[in-house]
Amino acid sequence: MNKPLRRIAIFCGLLILTLLIRDNWLQYVRADSLKNDTNNRRVTIARYATPRGDIIVDGDPITGSTETKNNDLKYKRTYKNGPMWAPVTGFASQAFGATQLESIDDGILTGDDDRLFFRKTLDMITGKQQQGGNVVTTLNAAAQKAAYNGLKAQGGKGAVVALEPSTGKILALASYPSYDPSSFAGNSDADAKAWKSLLKKNNPNDPMQNRALRETYPPGSTFKVVTAAAALENGLYKSADENTDSPLPYIMPGTTTPLKNEGNIPCKNATLRVALKVSCNSVFGKIGADLGNDKMLAEAKKFGFDAEQFTPVRSNASVFSDKMDRSQTALSSIGQFNTAATPLQMAMVASAVANDGKLMKPYMVDELESSGLDPVAKTEPEELSRPLTPKNAQILQSMMETVVKEGTGQKAQIGGGVTVGGKTGTAQHGVENSANPYAWFISYAKLADGSSPVAVATVIEDDQANREDISGGGLAAPIAKSVMEAVINSKK
């Protein structure tokens, strides 16, 4: 071969090699990024070419799919009782993407997940259209209905979370006001209009905010349960009925400012039981200052503070600050200053106490399954931490049960052999407490056999209510009671 032909052959060989490298780069290295590119219309068309699998509650689907008209995206998502379930499902929209379970488990729901390989292969051999799998939740339909209807009847804004203490299963996850994901599931002008109407900049009620997981509130006096746990765990006090070293008035360290109580309540040297029953700021503020920031922070972290939770939907981290002086620690120990918590977090606090000091990781997906109902993945309960010894947890249970029997939480009483433990909270809101406070209630129910099937956290924010009518025991406790009753009745 002469020299010019040899050069041409080498050049052509290099071109072929470059083409092969480029082809392999696109097909293997960049395959996932191209597949998930928002500008890849073919992927979007394929995603909506078949009905999605369903999200299941108590054996029944709370989602569905319907065929569209005059659209190259063949199927769109539908929802049953969409506003009630939106904090659980999130949304799947042809125009606006997906969130929460619809996004996290999108591969299962569309049938594209690698774990569905056998089912996809079988469908391909039989010529059957690809089908999505199902997401089976831990939710209890009756508890969710009680939570949502309670919030809706109350009005304003708020959230409820209910957990099964022994496993961490989420039984209810409600947020109000809410939205219907069906209203913008398609790709029409009407869907776009519905979407815009729900955005916070256009709707001050912010209905798409998941207040159960993504809103952090000052927990107010409900945080005193954490402070009481810290006192017991660190040996500051060893029982519920010994007198505390609590002067009245209590002047916060380094200041001339007294930490005031609400009304004329018996807080001077009160026992832990009495202090929790009547909600003494002075007693629990002094406990926090006496223990110090480090010990209080360590106990709060054992309950889950300062860490995001993944249920698998992400929940904001609740906050208990570091590097506070004793006065700031006192305020934080009664659920004020920088302390902030999600409703999920406070349900975790009640759950750990009810479960004899063992905190289980909260989760809302029980199982993933194929379209043929074959199990693909199963969530196993997982211990998260031990905030309390069993002995101290039982002491704290007796204190919380006194709150409901004799104190500020009496509207949560159930009876019929069911014992309820709880703690109310009315948390300051606004500059110098100028806005209406938040009303909190955390609780658990215990059956006659000693088991605890449910723990609940409820928060209400109502700007329109009369300020003097706002209390955790008055607004939040009745909702918690209805949720606990729903769970108990569903087990009969």
Catalytic residues: 221
> For the chain, what is the HEC assignment?
CCHHHHHHHHHHHHHHHHHHHHHHHHHHHCHHHHHCCCCCHHHHHHHCCCCCCCEEECCEECEEEEECCCCCCCEEEEECCHHHHHHHHCCEECCCEECHHHHHCHHHHHCCCHHHHHHHHHHHHHCCCCCCCEEEECCCHHHHHHHHHHHHHHCCEEEEEEECCCCCEEEEEEEECCCCHHHHCCCCHHHHHHHHHHCCCCCCCCCCCCHHHHCCECCHHHHHHHHHHHHHHCCCCCCCCCECCCCCCCECCCCCCECCCCCCCCCCCCEHHHHHHHCCHHHHHHHHHHHCHHHHHHHHHHCCCCCCEECCCEECCCECCCCCCHHHHHHHCCCCCCCEECHHHHHHHHHHHHCCCCEECCECEEEEECCCCCEEEECCCCEEECCCCHHHHHHHHHHHHHHHHHCCCHHHCCECCEEEEEEEEEEEECHHHCEEEEEEEEEEEECCCCCCCEEEEEEEECCCCCHHHCCHHHHHHHHHHHHHHHHHHHCC
